[in-house]
Amino acid sequence: MAAMTISTSNDKERTPRLKLKTIEDTDRLNYRFPVSLKQELDQLAERCKKEKLDFIAALSEGMRGVAKSIRQELDGKRSHRGAKNGVNVAPENGAAK
C-alpha cells in the first residue's frame, strides 16, 4: 500500500502532515487448502483479532512472498529448460566420449 502525504497549510500557519495510506481494492480468494492449514490460519486470525492486529494485512504480505517464490521458480524453469544450476551433467561412469 502506497503512502500519500496531505499538507494542509496556509501561508502563515503550518499544520502537521497526515500520512494516509491508499486503500487497495480487495477480492475473495477461492482455493483449496489442507484443513490443518485452514484451522491454523483461523486460530491465528482469532489471536490477531484479540490483539487488535491486522491479520489480513499480514496474510496478504505473506501471500505476496509466496507468489514471488512461485513466479521465480516458474521463470527459472522457463529459462533453464536444460540442466538445473549445480547439476552434474557428466556421464555417470565418468567416461568421456
The CA distance from 81 to 79, in Å, is 6
Q: Is pLDDT of 97 > 50?
A: no
Residues contacting residue 77 through CB under 8 Å, at least 6 positions apart: none
Would you mind telling me the total number of residues written for the chain in this entry? 97
Beta strands in 1-97 (DSSP E): 3-6, 18-21
Q: Report the chain's mean pLDDT, rounded to a whole number.
A: 80
Q: Is pLDDT of 94 > 90?
A: no
Cell of 11: 501561508
Q: Which amino acid is at 31?
A: Y
Instruction: Give SS3 for 19.
Output: strand
pLDDT digits over 69-88, tens only? 999 999 988 776 655 555 55
The mean per-residue pLDDT over the stretch 28-37 comes to: 94
Residue from 65, 35, 59 nearest 47 by CA: 59
